[in-house]
Amino acid sequence: MIMAPAGAKRNILERLDAGEIVIGDGGFVFALEKRGYVKAGPWTPEAAAEHPEAVRQLHREFLRAGSNVMQTFTFYASDDKLENRGNAQRFTGTQINEAACDLAREVANEGDAMVAGGVSQTPSYLSCKCEDEVKGIFKRQLDVFVKKNVDFMIAEYFEHVEEAEWAVQVLKTSGKPVCATLCIGPDGDLNGVSPGDCAVRLVKAGANIVGINCHFDPMTCVKTVKMMKEGVERAGLKAHYMVQPLAFHTPDCNCQGFIDLPEFPFGLEPRILTRWDMHKYAREAFNVGIRFIGGCCGFEPYHIRAVAEELATERGCLPAASEKHGNWGAGLEMHTKPWVRARARRDYWEKLKPASGRPKCPSMSTPDSWGVTKGHADLMQHKEATSQEELKPLFEKAKASH
């Protein structure tokens, strides 16, 4: 395997401290939904137990694409979540979590990858806000990850920094390195805490690596991590930074992110990033000082490969799957038609503004009005206009007097 260096694997903090780039994987729930193994709505990961071959194959594809991290497919895998709203399961939560750990480890061992266990926001936080109860949930999940000896932990997808702090505090008890990512944008968490302040609180809670995942497009997430980094530095603290954004363009999102877009989750296709968008993302993340760079919902293996190709010089290696790609799509030099061969160059793809092929569709949506809105969008609303009835006498008068 090209990317597997000799010797024992090093810890994520050893790598980051040494200035290395760590490449994450992509979002499993979206990818496996399209493959037929995850149900949009509950978004639960029972496929780890039900269809291990499908989960294993997706891990392998991300490994081939350059991922250094195999995240266990355990998103929303607590028992209360798994059974939520009538989502009956044939496997117990423990079975699912353990199967997911085993699959991640099996594939990680095929290459230069670490296994990361994960916890995410809970319905309990919103319904009771009782610190002990919420922490208990994280603790029960952590027990499996400790038993299965994952390499490090990620607390991800939190909309409220307080809940993320609680998660970090629990995960720290394992002695493993802890990452914490919020799913917020530049406007801050849902209580209005700024990205900079959020980051400071997470670092103080014990997180070694902080950043953003999900909910917004890559450039917005990088911008938000930059704000977090500036906050941490202003506070005189130290941390590493990570980002795992959507692979969807979301210029029209409000502060709750892509869930409020009318296209979520079954009409997002026109927003999918190209591999060339990913090059720009990877470069920008690197320039900003982020060294753990991955993806979330919408990322397919070729997106991660593009990240790895953009950073190949800095990392000193290309992913295995680049054998099936070539530098900036150089494989096109073998195309039969000369005008397609003429596209086998970086300049062509960097400048392309891809058409949507959907001339009856707009380029931006209005986020769902049930969500929290802000700013300019309000101004476009027309609220207290005069009714037609009121105006009639004036029109009569206008006509008569002329």
Q: Known binding site for Zn(2+): residues?
A: 214, 296-297
- Under a CB-based contact definition with an 8 Å cutoff, are residues 286 and 293 in contact? yes
- Under a CB-based contact definition with an 8 Å cutoff, are residues 34 and 297 in contact? no
Q: In the complex with its own copies, which residue's Cβ is closer, 53 or 133?
A: 53
Q: In the complex with its own copies, which residue's Cβ is closer, 146 or 272?
A: 272
CB neighbourhood size of 75 (10 A): 21
Q: Does 39 bind its own copies (CB under 8 A)?
A: yes
Q: In the complex with its own copies, which residue's Cβ is closer, 145 or 299?
A: 299
Distance, in Å, from the CA atom of 340 to the CA atom of 325, rounded to the nearest integer, reads: 15
Q: Minimum Å distance from CB 237 to its own copies? A: 25
Q: Does 129 bind its own copies (CB under 8 A)?
A: no
Two structure tokens written together for 105? 């480890």
Q: Which of 278, 169, 283, 292 is nearest to 229 (CA)?
A: 292
Q: Does 317 bind its own copies (CB under 8 A)?
A: yes
Q: Minimum Å distance from CB 269 to its own copies? A: 4
DSSP string covering 315-379: HT---GGGGGT-TTSGGGGG-SSHHHHTT-SHHHHHH-----S-TTS-SS-PPPTTS---THHHH
Tell me the per-residue interface mask from 215 to 254 with its own copies, x by CB under 8 A, - otherwise: --x-xx-xx------------------------xxxxx--
Q: Does 291 bind its own copies (CB under 8 A)?
A: no
Q: Minimum Å distance from CB 105 to its own copies? A: 18
Q: Minimum Å distance from CB 212 to its own copies? A: 14
Q: In the complex with its own copies, which residue's Cβ is closer, 149 or 327?
A: 327
Q: Does 78 bind its own copies (CB under 8 A)?
A: no
Q: In the complex with its own copies, which residue's Cβ is closer, 237 or 361?
A: 361
Distance, in Å, from the CA atom of 20 to the CA atom of 6, rounded to the nearest integer, reads: 16
Q: Does 320 bind its own copies (CB under 8 A)?
A: yes
C-alpha atoms less than 13 angstroms from C-alpha of 37 in its C-beta half-sphere: 20
Instruction: Give SS3 for 223.
Output: helix
- Under a CB-based contact definition with an 8 Å cutoff, are residues 161 and 193 in contact? yes
Q: Does 57 bind its own copies (CB under 8 A)?
A: yes
Q: In this chain, which of 28, 138, 264, 292 binds its own copies, going by CB under 8 A?
A: 264
Q: Does 98 bind its own copies (CB under 8 A)?
A: no
Segment near its own copies (CB under 8 A); pick from 112-120, 162-170, 203-211, 382-390: 382-390
Q: In the complex with its own copies, which residue's Cβ is closer, 209 or 320?
A: 320
Q: Does 19 bind its own copies (CB under 8 A)?
A: no
Distance, in Å, from the CA atom of 126 to the CA atom of 59, rounded to the nearest integer, reads: 32
